[in-house]
Amino acid sequence: MKQYLFCLFIFYTTVSFAQNENYVKENYTKIDTTISMRDGIKLYTIIYVPKDSSQRYPILMQRTPYSVWPYLSSNYPSSIMPGKMMEEKYIYVKQDVRGRHMSEGINEEVTPYIPNKKSNKDVDESSDTYDTIEWLLKFLKNHNGRVGLWGISYPGFYATASLPGAHPAIKAVSPQAPVTDEFAGDDANHNGAFFLLDNFSFMEGYDRPRPDGLVYAYKWPLFTPTNYSDAYKFFLDMKTIKESNGPKYFTGKGKYWQEYLAHDTYDDYWRSRNIRQHLKNIAIPTLVVGGWFDAEDLFGALHTYEAIEKQSPSNKNFLVMGPWTHGAWAATEWKEFGTHQFGANVNQYFQDSIEGAFFKYYLKDKGNFNASEATMFETGTNQWRHFDQWPPADTKATNFYLGPNNKLLHNKPIAAKNYSEYVSDPAKPVPYTNGIYSDRNNEYMIEDQRFAATRPDVLVFQSDTLTEDMTIAGPIIADLFVSITGTDADFIVKLIDVLPEYEKDINKQQGTTMAGMQRLVRAEVIRGKFRSDLSKPIAFVPGKVAEVKFTLNDALHTFKKGHRIMIQVQSSWFPLVDRNPQKFLRIPEANETDYQKATIKIYHDATNSSNIILPVMK
């Protein structure tokens, strides 16, 4: 989720300049102020102006719901930007968005953009950005007239939101892991399936009722605090989503939580918050950044870039995808993650040659920016690759068919009727990770799936040993033919790289056995009732075959010679995703008695040929 990103950011930037905790105070003058928006609401803003007045500086701005701390002009942070960007002098501006922390007004979840504003009462994040820039250009004396915006996660959304209706002074924008479409694939839901673990833990802190007046966030009253070491058990004991509004939890007072539960289809609430539809005719150079191991906003990075490409084809639009978790590119160093060893600090290359170069070139006319359209890290071989478009043109959609006897086949099955089946029991859902955790295990996206493969409610299909390397580049499509005994079910499809039994055991000291590992490459879920339309749920007819076709997020990965490709299919992923009662109804209103077992059949025959479509590079 947008998961305490401000803490993550403070940690990363503090580490970067820990050698000089007084760097900001020695080099910048800090100004605390409020800026009035067109509707009269005042937004709390902190400005860091370089003390060296021998030159004019561009303005580099971040807007955030996570606090511009530290408040008061006498309090200085140890750092204000990640990596070396702080040494490259800018006028840094940080602002609490409306309704958050020290800013007035009412905050909206991923504020909808208003294309045709008719009065000063029509405000959104684009207009607030515009009004802030207008004020800054008049108030500040030593600027060069250019403005850049950037942000990670929720601040990434605010960066994206500056693009439609942009102020003419904006010359460069970098949305990084941006929240983009919360019903289709970011944070709140994936293909209509509610991400319970992340949302519950995030909203306990973020969704606090705001008191009258402007009060520093951490003095606000908390909801009834929860304390658990085993998230799987905690959420199973909660019984239902409806219970989350009981006296032990949100008590019906969480603004955003109530909105999430009220809007369980892709209705006007979610459609209005899909910023992608407004990224038309963008003329501002844009650098979209994301991580292949981002458990929160992988969708947002890929689809923000895609939306600009499709709707603003002449724009200078760049995409960077690295081997990162959520926001990890802001760290000083990133050489490994879990069992992945990258062999070098991938962040130094990104921060110096891409992010830093982007803003220096477009805001200062300094140096050059010769980055490829798409700078992508290839997992499996651990190397950066450069493409003039994403997905690359030289890929071929290649079908891999689920087959009998747990086989993953190149050829379509020929049997007249064939299927594999399992019983999905909401009382014993498949865990998303192997182990006991209170918070989300961030490594689940690359985790060894052998713990799941042994369960009777997980189907496994495995290819023969590869005789040569195979690289995939782009989105992955799952096309299942299913029947169920209930009227609804979730479907989780995992793409897995099976390492050979002789694989070098590079992490033995960590207790991890690499040999034979079923390492996750990509996985995604769809709530079955949304198989035709996220806006119009439809029930399954018990026993009748139905097609469930959906897209998994992109990957750039090489399955090496000697490895195997595996597909796993299951119907629960708990408590990452809430349990489906396997009964067609509004799940936020479901009672404990509504949850029922269901027998799921996945067909693999000549007529109903379940398959995975991989974008194989030629």
The rounded mean pLDDT for the chain is: 93
Task: Determine what percent of the chain is predicted with pLDDT higher than 70.
Answer: 93
Taking 80 as the threshold, does the pLDDT of residue 215 lie above it? no
CA–CA dist 376, 385 (Å, integer): 5
Handedness of CA 140, 81, 186, 173 (dihedral sign): positive
Contact in structure between 199 and 183 (CB atoms under 8 Å) = no
pLDDT in tens, 299-347: 999 999 999 999 999 999 999 999 999 999 999 999 999 999 998 999 9
Q: What is the pLDDT of residue 232?
A: 98
More confident residue, 217 or 353: 353
Q: What is the pLDDT of residue 9?
A: 43
Taking 90 as the threshold, does the pLDDT of residue 437 lie above it? yes
CA–CA dist 179, 181 (Å, integer): 7
Residue 536 burial (CB < 10 Å; 0-12/13-18/19+)? exposed
SS3 236: helix
Q: What is the pLDDT of residue 81?
A: 84
Q: What is the pLDDT of residue 20?
A: 80
CA–CA dist 77, 80 (Å, integer): 7
pLDDT in tens, 29-40: 999 999 999 999
Q: What is the pLDDT of residue 15?
A: 42
| E-assigned strand segments in 282-333 | 286-291, 317-322
pLDDT in tens, 540-589: 999 999 999 999 999 999 999 999 999 999 999 999 999 999 999 999 99
CA-wise closest residue to 146 among 173, 163, 171: 171
Taking 60 as the threshold, does the pLDDT of residue 400 lie above it? yes
Token pair 């910048």 is found at: 28
pLDDT in tens, 12-28: 443 444 458 899 999 99
Task: Determine what percent of the chain is predicted with pLDDT higher than 90.
Answer: 86
Residues 206-223, mean pLDDT to the nearest whole number: 60
Q: What is the pLDDT of residue 309?
A: 98
Take residue 60 and report the two structure tokens written for it: 């580099």
Instruction: Give me the helices (H) in 340-466, please.
Output: 346-349, 356-364, 450-453
Total residues found in the chain within this entry: 618
Taking 50 as the threshold, does the pLDDT of residue 4 lie above it? no
CA–CA dist 147, 170 (Å, integer): 5
More confident residue, 245 or 460: 460
Residues 222-227, mean pLDDT to the nearest whole number: 67
CA–CA dist 512, 134 (Å, integer): 55
Residues 593-598, mean pLDDT to the nearest whole number: 98
Residues 453-474, mean pLDDT to the nearest whole number: 98
Q: What is the pLDDT of residue 226?
A: 78
pTM, rounded to two decimals: 0.95
Q: What is the pLDDT of residue 490?
A: 99
Q: What is the pLDDT of residue 225?
A: 64
Q: What is the pLDDT of residue 512?
A: 54
Contact in structure between 404 and 459 (CB atoms under 8 Å) = no
Give Cα separations from 335 to 176, 291, 519 (angstroms).
Answer: 20, 14, 19
Contact in structure between 421 and 601 (CB atoms under 8 Å) = yes
CA–CA dist 618, 482 (Å, integer): 31
pLDDT in tens, 232-256: 999 999 999 999 988 888 888 889 9
pLDDT in tens, 166-182: 999 999 999 999 999 99
Q: What is the pLDDT of residue 10?
A: 38
Take residue 573 and report the two structure tokens written for it: 């992923």
For residue 222, name the pLDDT band (cuts at 50, 70, 90).
low
